[in-house]
Amino acid sequence: MMPETWTAEQKLFPHQVGFTCPPFDYDAAPSDFLRMSPDTVGVHGWMLHVPDYAHGLDQRKQNFGMMEDFVHCMARNGVDVCGQVGSNWVHASGLGVTGIRDHCAALSDKYNTRFHMAGYAMVEALRAMNVEKVALNAAYHWPDWWQGTAGFLREAGFDVLWAGNFVDQGWFPDQDAVNAKRWIFDGDLAKQSFQYVAEQAPDADAYLINGMCNFRSGPDGLPQRPLHLARDLEAMLGKPVIGHDIALYWRIMKDLGIAPTTPQGQLLESLR
């Protein structure tokens, strides 16, 4: 029989982390998190399976119960902390900010394994940094996606000074042109888009980017998420830059009591 709980001697790594991502998304979170973590960390990923999935917010709500399947499975395998990748699941659920907080706490208690959602991790990160005013670089997100994110942030008590995606910013003629990129964009667009957002909201305490956007800013045009770009963007803007990927990794590391082994942006550096 498989053990229902794992002793320290039975675990492959002292710190074990599980990530899940939307259906049909090959997700960079396990790789990104592992590459900046101490050798004591092991990471496992679990892709949700919804055969007819088409990235609709209604499908997220319909399949919200899969979060519990994920946590249950990971808990049975000795995972210490679970992270849900994807910023839209929190507002698509219809539970509201308090409801999401309670849902994460309930699953954590039920399976004795900490569970965090990227959308709520952003709220926790901003509160920890005493941020009040934000501007949202909505990147590739459809209007109902990023408007839901902005609404969730407002419900959490933040003053969203400006929000808009790459179409609103003028980089693409319409959403179809954005979608054709499949969420991977030219490396230069990261700085250009954040400069635009900062010009719209110079009084923001922090600049945010939603979702898990990728820019071809790495070696030989390797796609990179905001995690890799935060330090340079913060140096350019003079303000914290936080993506949902960064916020989720910060929340998981905070639970594990570890810090990144590589230089990071302000939020992750605060763990030191």
Find the mean pLDDT for residues 34-56: 91
CATH number of 123-243: 3.40.50.12500
Q: Report how far apart, in Å, the C-alpha atoms of 230 and of each of 65, 82, 261 are.
A: 33, 23, 16
Q: What is the domain partition of the chain in residue ranges?
A: 14-119+246-269, 123-243
Q: Which ranges of the chain would DSSP assign to H, the alpha helix?
A: 29-35, 57-62, 66-76, 89-92, 96-111, 118-128, 143-155, 175-179, 188-200, 226-237, 244-256, 266-269
* Residue 6 clears pLDDT 90, i.e. is over it: no
Looking at residue 8, what is its pLDDT? 81
CA–CA dist 20, 88 (Å, integer): 14
Find the mean pLDDT for residues 35-59: 90
Looking at residue 56, what is its pLDDT? 79
* Residue 25 clears pLDDT 90, i.e. is over it: no
CATH number of 14-119+246-269: 3.40.50.12500
CATH topology agreement for domains 14-119+246-269 and 123-243: yes
Tokens encoding 64: 């919200």
Find the mean pLDDT for residues 90-115: 97
Find the mean pLDDT for residues 157-164: 98
Looking at residue 74, what is its pLDDT? 95
Confidence at 153, pLDDT banded by 50, 70, 90: very high
Q: 15: burial class by Cβ within 10 Å (0-12, 13-18, 19+)?
A: buried
Determine the residue type at 33. Answer: F
* Residue 13 clears pLDDT 80, i.e. is over it: yes
Confidence at 72, pLDDT banded by 50, 70, 90: very high
- pTM here is 0.96
Tokens encoding 161: 């000074």
Looking at residue 5, what is its pLDDT? 77
What percent of the chain shows pLDDT beyond 90? 85
Looking at residue 48, what is its pLDDT? 87
